[in-house]
Structures are given as structure tokens and as C-alpha cells.
Structure 1
Amino acid sequence: MVSRLAVELQDDVLAIREVVERLLPSQRTGLRPLPTPLPVVPAIAARFHDLILPARDRDLLLALSVSLDDRLDPLLTFDGRSALEISAAPVGRHLIVRAGRVRFTDTRLAIWVQARTDPAIIGAVHDRLSGMFRSRGDGMSADWHRARASLERDPRAAAELTRIARELSEAGHPDRALLLAREATKHADGADRDEARLVAGAASVGAGFAVEAAEWLGSLFPDGTQRYRLQGLAGLITARAHLHGAVPDVDPNSLRPRTDDTGDWYSWTRAAALAAVLCAERGDRPGMRRWLDALRVGTARVGAERELRDPVIALSWLLVGERDLDDIAGTGPLSGRMLCALRAAVDGDVDLGLRTLEAAEPIMDGELDPLVAGFEFSPVVRAYLSVAETLLLVWRGDIGRARDRLLLAARELSIAMPFAGLGVVLARRLDLAVLGEVGPVSRSLTAALPPAMKTDVLVDRAIASYLAGAFDDAAASMRLWIDLGAPQTTLSVPGLDEVAATGEIGPDAPSIVAPPEVFLAHELRIRVATAVDARWRSEHDGVHASARTLRSPFARARVESMLGVQCAIHDEIGAARSHLRSARHLFELAGATAWARAVGDRLDRLESRGTEADVPTDPLSACRHVWSQLLTAREVEVAMLAVVGAGNKDIAAALGVSVRTVEVHLGRVFAKLDVRGRVELTALAHRTNRHV
């Protein structure tokens, strides 16, 4: 939304702010298109307050502002002057004429001239343009301007506008398609009006305008023409799933066609296919199974088992974490290319997955996708491909490039829609990895999410705290996240298991989708975090050997960093420096600047060890997040009190337990941490405080 306003308002910050204040909440969040034209706010009015235009020049500028494209020839025919004459006239300073095209020098003038012109004059200009385009054989433009000029309904123009809008939508131009389809709905009647509503809704889905799509397609239910109602069902389910965070809880059979028409049944079947995938994205297995059952019924009836049923089943089960599937692929960008790319990555070949996605666009030319028929070139499908590419780059450890790609996509695509908001989660995590904080674009994307859709804010806070050196705060956020059930996206996004064991996410764990290397890196980090003195040396050597097999520089850097910290805790300073330096270089290679900076800070503390500034003032703050992974909560409390010199009676009084209970807890602490008494426990705490 902001990028579009920046283009239309010449990067005028004041005008952008004033326009945003007048927008509906759904327009501000990109869930509804911007008004056409934009409102004339004080900043725009002030810029042109002394502009006086002769009627001929005003009509020329007005004609350009209401035209569907920027071709020069029709404007010359409309005005009657040559390009040279227009350029030499006073109006020429407001126009840029080049290569047969014409546009405003200042796009804000198009807004001002429409707002400051009498509606009757605007209608007359539309009428003139209609006649001119008709004489040139451009029926679509002629019908558009005739409809805009008409004070009464014009059903003949509506049918043509709807046809052209459908073609534009399917060609990947949903904004213009929506403009034409909305105009068609004002002039059409009966079934023709239902078709125009369908096209307006489909164009809205393609553009990512979920609120707009839900309104247009929802208006077809329950009494709209069955053909168009069923054609719009898939789009309506998509829009409502995004807005409400879940696929509508309806019985698929209640939406079945009431006739034997094959086309109607195919529309219903495709809606079931898309609903199943949307449920899978959200981890809703019961809903997915319900819609897959409907898909099987429908594909058997219309004979689309191979082209639609098989790839949709494969994609759905892949998205919920079932990876052992037959090598089934569909056609087109989603059921074909994206499915193949994700499967290749999950099987361990992320580079092959990226090559598959990069090859998608040229191969998409003329290649239909039964799952998203008519949307192959739409912005929403391009958003899916962009988010999938970003995810694979993250899995490969190419953090800086992943962030650049996603930020570029966010300027023109609704990246919040794919995979139940995965793009927003990725944007926030990538900002944290590079900046150390969530940036303005990611904050805007988060604010634009529907209320029902949430991100892992606690994990984000933990990462920000960890990178800033506030380890206790990071551990507290992660413990709270775990207490709340450890919610996370099915498609794995890097979290923070450096400060809290996050449980099993291995290849056999349900509902986690990632390459084998992601699982291996997680296992290695947990091994380092939970290693005690008795097995530290063997764990160090084994983890280090395994870490060297990781191809992702980001994943390996996190393991190297943890090895460095543990080596420092065990007074192996040379090894600690080596691991931390390797981690810093690898983080820099990955483009994870904030992580590299955090490791650099650790190295600085290690180099200056022994100085007064390194003496910890609060052992609890440094030790708790490490020891809490090895000890129970009560054992941690007992251990920390023992470290600061409290006797058994004092500990018992502080915690409200018996001395015998304290002795039992301390015995377990000594055993788990592999120390022989309070002196070694205190020494271990101070080493941990110094180096974690």
C-alpha cells in the first residue's frame, strides 16, 4: 500500500500521511484496493492552488487521467494537436512524452484535475473518448468510457467490460481487471451481474485484496447463479481463510452442485482442493482430511485424478509434515513447480529446489495449473513463489539474500497471504538476524495481518534479547513460549534453542517440515546446551565433527558459537576463540550481521577476561538460562542460592522446604552438573557467567 502511494504521490511524505488518514482500515492494510482517484488532500491542493488551465488543456489532462493506458496516439486524436504542438504549449510542462507514451510529470496533478473538474465535464470527456476509441476499433476502451459517461445502466457495455476484465485477471493484471469488473457490476443485470461480481472477486483474490474479495464473492451466496457461485467458491474460501485465520467450517457436501453439469462439478472440486491445501498450511489435519475426501469424490466424477487429486494430496500432506510420499507432481506454478521445489529441499537438495523455483516463471508461460486455474500469473501466486524461495534461501543459510528478496517482493506483493502468514514470520526473523531488531517493513506487515493470524512474538523477543546480550530475558521469553505450547510454523523457521531446549524436531517429529540439515543442526545445538562435564570432551569432538558437515553457513555458525561458549566455560580458552572466530566469519558469510556482531562481542569479552568489568554482579542472570536446561526449576533455585554462599538452613528457609529436601536437591544438582561440591559448583557458575 505504501509503495503504491509513494508512486502515485511522487514520494510526497506529507501527502502520503494525509491520504493514509482518510483511508479505511482495510485499505491501509492492503486488504482492499486504494480509492480511484485518490482524495485531494491539503498537501495536493496546496501544490496546485494557483494552477489555471484553459478548457482544452484541462480536457487533455483529464482524458489522460481517466484513460486505461498511456498510449499517445489516442490522446493526440482526442486533442487534435500534434505531439510537438502539445510539448510546446503551456500544458507540455505537465507531460512527459516519450516513445509513443505519455504520462504526467507530477502524478499528483491527475488526482487534482479530476477532483477540481465538474462531474458533467468529466462525463463529457468520457463520452468523447468513447466515440474516439469506437472509431479506432478499440471496443474495450470504448465500452469502458461509455459506461463511465452513462447516467443510466448500459448492459451492452457491461458484458464487454466483464469479458475483458476476466482476460486481464487471468493475464496477471488484477488491479485493472477489478476496475473494469466493478464498473460492469453497475450496469449489468441478473446472471450477467453475477458474472461481473465473480470477476471482481477473482481479481481481488489475485491482487491479495482479501476483504474486497470476500465481499464480492460472498454476494453470490446463497442465491447467485449456481455456475458463478461455484466458480467463485475457491476464491471465497481463500479470502476468508486469510481474514479469519482458518478455512470456513462448512460441510463440503452442502456446497455441492445441484445439477450434473461437469463444469459446475469441476469448480466445486477445485474449491475442495484449494481448501485442503489451505487447511494444511494452517496445520488443520481434520479439516484437510474432510476436504480431501470431497476432492476424491469430485475428481472421480470429473476425471481429474491425475491432474488435480494426486498433486494436491501430495502437497497437502507435505505441508503438514508427512514427507514419505510418492514422487507425484502437478503442472503450473503451485501444484507443479512449488511442490517439486519443496520436496527437493525437504529431501536434502535445497539448491535443486531453488533452481526449480527460478525456472518456474518462464516455464509457466502457457502452462495451466488445475489448482489455481486462472491465477497462474496473478500477484498472489507470485507471492507464494517468493515466500517459498525466501524459505529455501533461509534453509540454505543465505540470510542476507533471503531478506533482500523478501523485502523486494513486499513492495508489490501480498506476502502475508501465502502459507498462513509465513512471509511475515520470515520477514521478522530475517530482520532480527541482520539488524538485531524488527524493522519498519516487517512491523507494517505484522500490523496488516488479520487479528486471527499471529506470529511467534515471544521467539522474536527472545532472539532480540539474546543478540543484545540480555540472556536471562531471552531465556525467560523462550520458557514462556514453551509453556504456551511452543507454537511455530509447520515450515521450519530458525528459532532460538541456544537458551532453552525446545524439544524434539527431528525428522520423525510430526508437523515440522525442513531439510535433514535443519534437524541435524538443531540436534547438535541441543547436545552442546545439555552437555555436562563428564561427557563434555566426547560431546565437543562429536558435535564439532558433525557441524563441519553442515553446508548452511548460518546453521554451522550457531553450532560453532555454542561450542565456543562451552569451551570458555570449561576454561579451554584457545578452543573457545577458534570456535567463536569461525562463527563470526560464517555469520558474516551468511549475511547475518546481527549474529556476527553478537559473536564479536563475546570474543571481545573473552579477550579482556580477568578485568574488573568482566566480574559478574548477578550469577543468577548468567547461569539460569543454561542450567535450566539441565535442572528442574527447584534445583536451579537451590543451586543459585548455594552459589552465592547460602547454607542449607538458609536455603530451606528461603524456599519454605526442609533441610533434608535441600540436601536431596543439591545432591541431584552435583550429579547432573558433574561437580563434587559447592566449591566446584561456584566455580562453574562464575565461568558460565563470564562466557555465556
Structure 2
Amino acid sequence: MARGRFVAPAVVGIILEELLERDIACAPHVLAGLAVDLDAHAPTVREVVESLTPEQRHGHRPLPSPLPLVPSIARRFDTVELESRDRQLLLALSVSLEDDLEPLLAFDGRTASEVAAAPVGDRLRVHAGRVRFVDARLSIWIRATSSAATTAVVHERLSTVFRARGDQVRANWHHARASLEGDPAAAPELIDIAGQLSDAGHPERALLLAREASDHATASDRDDARLVAGTSALAAGFVSEASAWLNALYSETSDPRRSRGLGALLVAQTLAQGAVPEIDPSSLRPETDDPEDWRHWTRASALVAVMCAERGDRRGMRVWLDALREGAARTGAERELRDPAIALSWLIAGDRDVDEVAGSGPVSGGMLSALRAALHGDIDRARRLLAKDDSAIGSAPDPLVPGYEYSPIIQAYRRVVDVLLLAWRGDIGLARERLIQAALVLPVALPFAGLGVVLARRLDLAVLGELGPFSLSLTAALPNGARIDVLVDRGIQSLLAGAFHDAAATLRLWAELGSPRTAMSVPAIDELALTVEARPMTVGSIEPPEIALAQRLRVRIATAGDARWRSERDAVTEAARTLASPFTRARVETMLGTQHAIHDDHAAARVHLHRAERLFEVSGATAWARSIRDRIDRLDAREGSIVPAADPLSACRAAWSLALTARELEVAMLAVGGSPNRDIAEMLNVSVRTVEVHLGWIFTKFGVRSRVELTVLAHRTDHHL
């Protein structure tokens, strides 16, 4: 990607949307990089994206280098004529690792002023010792229209320039690229520099060098190149590429490189496939007494345990944690590796009572501390801890992810956690903005089994009322094996559009499919608990105490029948005032307003609904605010009446279907329709006594004492949903 340049999110969003209309999905960070390299020329970007493989479009493999010469680029420069010297200068710039001006001037032999005055000067932009193409697409055209022999000559000349300047890294790189045959002598230096670049947070550059080294290396050097290429690919988020490199290493060699790449291989396979590989950790246990082999196996066990926790696989997590304990006991890594990894795994798995252990680095230190602070109710401190670790990252190596502290994959994890914290705090608009910014540069679809994708979808729905191009593109970037609860998203969209019956039906289907949810709580559709039994959607997830309190308040509202409503409403209203998150409180206020309307207290209903509308606006959840405005308008129209549905009491039927069994629902709807018990018994082919028993359970669930009260409740519920 061209350095020092940026494409606005709006531009990327427009191109993403155009691609989706063509049934082509591209991960936002991949498209943003292409937009920079192609001067944000939408037709060219589309053509290049169409030429890529799905794995490249989704960011699971690196882009081809150079990018393909698509028709729009060929047409753009079809009539360009260049002097041989100018063409070689442009080719040298296009194949250079950096955009430094001085080496190019040394290559060309002219001064900066002379280059600027020449015809080629119109195609270059020089500033502060840097040089780049005025039109980035020219780089692709130059490389595609230059012969292999010409390109090799340019590389060799650049190698000479850099060797004279004492830059051995770039000298070796260009010398290797100039070789039309293998050059084994160049491999060790390239491998060494690639490893340093990966550790310093430049994995894409490291992968480039490691791949080149692999092309030239022989025997053990090739295995070293595979190891660096695989670990660099994983650090960059190229999970399918990483899996391929490390699989080759692991299947073809038996030296220590196998153990060194084990953790990266298992993580890459998990992220690429969407599920943790079914492997017994004991089958991978080192066969030697070498402490380093055991340390690598121990770290791999810790990483896989965390992967299992992210996916809600407690059984697998326990198996790998047992392996971690065994390895830590042999290597003395209890404090630095075992304790933080166990604490992080159990915390992600939903156990709030994890030991207060301290780790170091961005994952076992900063991220663990931030999540723990949030679960204790201090989200602002959690964000400070996460931000503090950014500045300390270089001086605090992480024993869980050594060498990955600067990497895009770890930064993606940290950005997703930050967005989650903002959502928990109720800053919905800001959370969405930050997630989009992160998605432009990082593989945010990978962390926490797709949590970033779920957040993108929920935040889009909260702000837009529909799924936007960023969330849809991120969804497509998920591995095939990953599961996210898309039914909940459809339910939210229906609820915000006022289609309560469709929202309720969708929620029931979601429940029948096992109620899939993320390990960490994200905004769902607890509002559909209205008039139903308590079915907390956050069970099994972790969330701050405030979100748990709000859930309990919603359950109290939902389960307060006519008899209990008067005693519950004031207590719930007072408790709601303690909620600091505007979004969380607004959802409780929404349910209070709706229940007041159902109980014909329209004045109180307006108060709560107006509060909810303002709070949703403050949080940035504009789609929720519009939905509440629609409810207020219906309430103002005439006792909340709406256009009659084709099916009388359809909204009530949908709501009650969540609380009642199928047979109870049939009995209830026939009863509110005026059918006597004997007629209901005949229609359902049951005894009158069975009908009476069903009605008794129905009355108990809804807190009513008679058919009349049940009928009144049915019509109120239908009117105000």
C-alpha cells in the first residue's frame, strides 16, 4: 500500500456497496488498501477486486504483487510514451521497498531539480525526501509492461546502490529479486531481516521477504523461511496463507521449527476454519526434554484454550488448560504464562470469579485487565487500561503472544475490545465510528469468533436501522465455520420497523436453533421479553453489572402482570435512574413506556417514551430513536391504535407465543375471541377440564384473574406493540 495516504470511509463505503450489488464482497481493510493503491478510482478498484480469489478479497491471503493489469489501467496508459531512462526510473520506484528519494536519484544519476524538469517529473510527486507516483496506477502499468530481463537489471542496479549506502537489507532484497535463478546465499539475511520486521510490527513486509527467501533457500534455510512466512502471515491476519506455510513446515520437518510454529499453526487453522481443530494436545507433546520445545507446546496450549473459550467450547478449553498446567509445571511458567492464560480463558468463557492475576503485554496484561475492570463496573478505567498498554507495548513483551505485540491481528483484538467497551458504556454512535475506522486497516472479523462482525451489524442496526456495506462486507469475510446470530439481527430490524409479529417469530426460531450468542454480551432484543417469561438473552455471556441490572429490570417489567404492575413500576423506575449508559437506560424506559400504555396510563407512557427517545439520541442510536418516535405518534393518534392487521390481535399472538406453549396459545387466543370452554374443547379435541387447566396456567403467567381481564390485556398488548 502507498504510504502516508488515506481514503475516507465514505469513499470505501460507496465502493463496498457497489461491489455488494454485484454479489462480490471484499473485507473493508482489503478494499481500503486497494483504494489507496489505485487512487480510489472506483472502476479500477472493482476490476481488481473481481480478479482476486475469495480468500484474497476477504483478507485471508495477501494480494498479488504486483496487482493485475486490469483493462481500465491498460486503457489509462495505453498512449503513454516514455524515454528509456524515465521508464527505468519509474520502474525502480515501483519495485522499491521504500519511497526514499535519495536512492532513486543515485540510481538515476540526475538531481531532484533535473528530474522535476524532465517529462517524467509530471508523473512524480516529491516532498520531504519522499517520492511517489502522482497516479498510483502507473506503478502497476510500468511493472506489467516491463520485461523480466529489464526488471532484473533494475533490481541489480538498485542492489548496487543500496550496498554502496550500507543498506544490506535492501541490497540483498534487490539482488535476490534480480536473480533469474536461485541464490541460496541471499536467503539467510532475508530470513533474519524478515523476522526482525515481523517482531517490529511490519508483518506484510516480513512475509514479502520470507517468501522471497523461500524461493532461493535450500534445506534448513527453507524451513526457517517457512516458519517466518507463516508467523508473519498470521500476524498480518492472512490466516489461510499462514496455515499453508506452517502446515508445510509441520508436515515435512522434525526439527525444533515444528514446536516453534505449533501455536501459530493451531491459531491460524482455527481462524481460517472458524473452529478449533479436533486434536488431542497429548499427541503434540514434545518427545524431548528440551525446555524450549516444552515452552512452545505450553504456549500453544494456552492459545488454543483461549480460542476454545472464544467459541464457548468449555470442554475443549479445559482439556487444553490441563495441557497448559502440565507444560507450565515443567517450564516454570506458572506466573508469567499459566495464570494469565487461565484467567483470560475463564473470563471469556463467562466466569466472573477469576483470580485477580496480573499479566504483561497487550493480551495477557492489558486486555485481561481491561475486561476485568469492565466486569467490575468501571468501563472508563477499562478503556484507560487498554489505552495505557498502547504506549507501553514495546517495553512489556507478552508471554502469551511473543513477537505479535505490534501485529495487526493483536491490534484487531484490542480495537474490538475497545468498541465493545464503548457499546457497553452506551456510546453507540462513537462505537460504530471507531469500528469502521478500525475495519479500514485491521482484520476485525477475526477476533473473538467474529465478535467484531456481530458488533458491526448491531451498531449498524442501532444507527441506520439496517445493515450497511461495512457490516455486510465483514460478514462475508467470516470463515465458513463461524456462526453468528443473524436471526437476532433480523429480529432487531423488524422490531425497529414496527413489525413486532415478525420480530417475535424470528426470536422463537432463534431460540429453537439453540440461542446462539457471542461470548461477550452485545445489544440484542430483550424488548421482546415484554409479556413473556424471563428468558435472559445474556446468560452465558459476560457483561458489566449495569447491563445485567438492566436485564433484570426488563424481566421484572415483562413478568409483572396486572396484579403486580402497580407495585413493580415505581421500583423499576427508580432503579432505571441508576443506569449510566444512555442506551441501556433508554431500552428500559422503552419497556416502561410500553407497559404504561398497555395499562392505559398514557400520560406516564409518554413521559417514559420521550425519555427513551432523548436517551437514544444522546447515545447515537438514531434508528432506535426513530422507532420510539413512531410509538409516541401511534400513542398520540388515539389510544395507541394502529392500522388494523389482517389477523386480529396478530401482535398479541406473536408476543404471547414467547410465553405460552403452543396449546396454551391456542386456548388463550380462542378465549379472548369469545369462545366458551366447551367450544374450545371441541375445536382442540380435548376435555373441558384440560381447557380449564390451560386457562389457569395462562391466568397465572399473565397475572390476571378472569377471561375479561385476559381479553383486555390482549387488546392492550396488540395496540401498543
| 1:49 match: secondary structure | coil
| 2:81 match: secondary structure | coil
Amino acid at match of 1:286: R
TM (norm. structure 1) is: 0.97
1:265 lines up with 2:294 in the alignment: yes
1:647: Cα distance to partner?
A: 4.4
* Map 1:454-533 → 2, pairs under 5 A: 454-500=483-529, 505=536, 511-533=540-562
Equivalent residue number for residue 140 of structure 1: 169
1:489: Cα distance to partner?
A: 1.1
Equivalent residue number for residue 466 of structure 2: 437
1:679: Cα distance to partner?
A: 3.9
Which aligned segments of 4 or more residues in structure 1 are displaced greater than 6 angstroms? none
Amino acid at match of 1:386: R
1:43 lines up with 2:62 in the alignment: no
Equivalent residue number for residue 690 of structure 2: 661
CA distance in 2, matches of 1:36, 1:502: 58
1:467: Cα distance to partner?
A: 0.4
1:409: Cα distance to partner?
A: 0.4
Greater relative CO (CA pairs within 8 A, separation 6+): 2
CA distance in 1, matches of 2:98, 2:140: 16
* Map 1:70-81 → 2, pairs under 5 A: 70-81=99-110
Equivalent residue number for residue 63 of structure 1: 92
Equivalent residue number for residue 403 of structure 2: 374
Q: Provide Cα deviations, 1:48-68, integer angstroms capped at 9, x if missing partner.
A: 010011110000000000000
Amino acid at match of 1:423: G
CA distance in 2, matches of 1:469, 1:265: 58
1:246: Cα distance to partner?
A: 2.1
CA distance in 2, matches of 1:640, 1:431: 36
Measured on the aligned residues, the alpha-carbon RMSD in Å equals: 1.8
CA distance in 1, matches of 2:218, 2:272: 30
* Map 1:438-453 → 2, pairs under 5 A: 438-453=467-482
Amino acid at match of 1:28: R
* Map 1:640-659 → 2, pairs under 5 A: 640-648=669-677, 650-659=679-688
1:536: Cα distance to partner?
A: 0.5
Equivalent residue number for residue 315 of structure 1: 344
* Map 1:73-472 → 2, pairs under 5 A: 73-472=102-501
Equivalent residue number for residue 589 of structure 2: 560
1:540 lines up with 2:569 in the alignment: yes
| 1:61 match: secondary structure | helix
Moved more, 299-308 or 498-507: 498-507
Amino acid at match of 1:132: V
Task: Check 1:490–1:503 CA distance in 2 against 1; reply closer, same or farther (3 A cut).
Answer: farther
| 1:96 match: secondary structure | strand
Moved more, 364-373 or 222-231: 222-231
Moved more, 255-264 or 162-171: 255-264
1:5: Cα distance to partner?
A: 1.1
The answer to whether the 8 Å contact 1:506/1:519 transfers is no
1:664: Cα distance to partner?
A: 3.9
> Which consecutive unaligned segments of at least 5 residues does structure 2 have?
1-29
1:516: Cα distance to partner?
A: 1.3
| 2:516 match: secondary structure | coil
CA distance in 2, matches of 1:109, 1:616: 61
1:690: Cα distance to partner?
A: 1.7
Amino acid at match of 1:301: R
1:667: Cα distance to partner?
A: 4.4
Moved more, 42-51 or 277-286: 277-286
The answer to whether the 8 Å contact 1:182/1:196 transfers is yes
TM (norm. structure 2) is: 0.93
The answer to whether the 8 Å contact 1:605/1:614 transfers is no
Equivalent residue number for residue 6 of structure 2: none
Amino acid at match of 1:529: A
The answer to whether the 8 Å contact 2:616/2:622 transfers is yes
Q: Provide Cα deviations, 1:138-168, integer angstroms capped at 9, x if missing partner.
A: 1111100110010221122111111111111
| 2:125 match: secondary structure | strand
1:245: Cα distance to partner?
A: 2.2
1:574 lines up with 2:608 in the alignment: no
| 1:387 match: secondary structure | helix
The answer to whether the 8 Å contact 2:586/2:613 transfers is yes
Task: Check 1:354–1:545 CA distance in 2 against 1; reply closer, same or farther (3 A cut).
Answer: same
Amino acid at match of 1:592: A
| 1:476 match: secondary structure | helix
Moved more, 1-10 or 204-213: 1-10
Task: Check 1:290–1:631 CA distance in 2 against 1; reply closer, same or farther (3 A cut).
Answer: closer
1:248: Cα distance to partner?
A: 1.7
Q: Provide Cα deviations, 1:434-465, integer angstroms capped at 9, x if missing partner.
A: 11111111111111111110110111110000
Task: Check 1:12–1:502 CA distance in 2 against 1; reply closer, same or farther (3 A cut).
Answer: farther
Amino acid at match of 2:235: G
CA distance in 2, matches of 1:148, 1:10: 27
CA distance in 1, matches of 2:378, 2:640: 48
CA distance in 1, matches of 2:560, 2:180: 79
Q: Provide Cα deviations, 1:660-682, integer angstroms capped at 9, x if missing partner.
A: 43344334434543445444433
1:688: Cα distance to partner?
A: 1.7
Amino acid at match of 1:403: R
1:683: Cα distance to partner?
A: 2.8
> Which consecutive unaligned segments of at least 5 residues does structure 1 have?
none
Name which of 592, 598, 612 aligns with 1:583.
Answer: 612
Q: Provide Cα deviations, 1:506-537, integer angstroms capped at 9, x if missing partner.
A: 99x5x321111111111111111121100001
| 1:102 match: secondary structure | strand
CA distance in 2, matches of 1:675, 1:298: 61
The answer to whether the 8 Å contact 2:97/2:170 transfers is yes
CA distance in 2, matches of 1:269, 1:622: 55
1:610: Cα distance to partner?
A: 4.9
Q: Provide Cα deviations, 1:523-571, integer angstroms capped at 9, x if missing partner.
A: 1111111211000011111211111111111111101000000000101
Task: Check 1:68–1:642 CA distance in 2 against 1; reply closer, same or farther (3 A cut).
Answer: same
Q: Provide Cα deviations, 1:474-511, integer angstroms capped at 9, x if missing partner.
A: 0011111111221111211121121145856599x5x3
The answer to whether the 8 Å contact 1:505/1:519 transfers is no
CA distance in 2, matches of 1:281, 1:612: 45
The answer to whether the 8 Å contact 2:526/2:537 transfers is no
CA distance in 1, matches of 2:533, 2:245: 44
Q: Provide Cα deviations, 1:192-229, integer angstroms capped at 9, x if missing partner.
A: 11111111111100110010000001111233252222
1:303: Cα distance to partner?
A: 1.9
CA distance in 2, matches of 1:61, 1:504: 65
| 1:226 match: secondary structure | coil
Moved more, 11-20 or 631-640: 631-640
Task: Check 1:149–1:414 CA distance in 2 against 1; reply closer, same or farther (3 A cut).
Answer: same
Task: Check 1:614–1:182 CA distance in 2 against 1; reply closer, same or farther (3 A cut).
Answer: same
| 2:490 match: secondary structure | helix
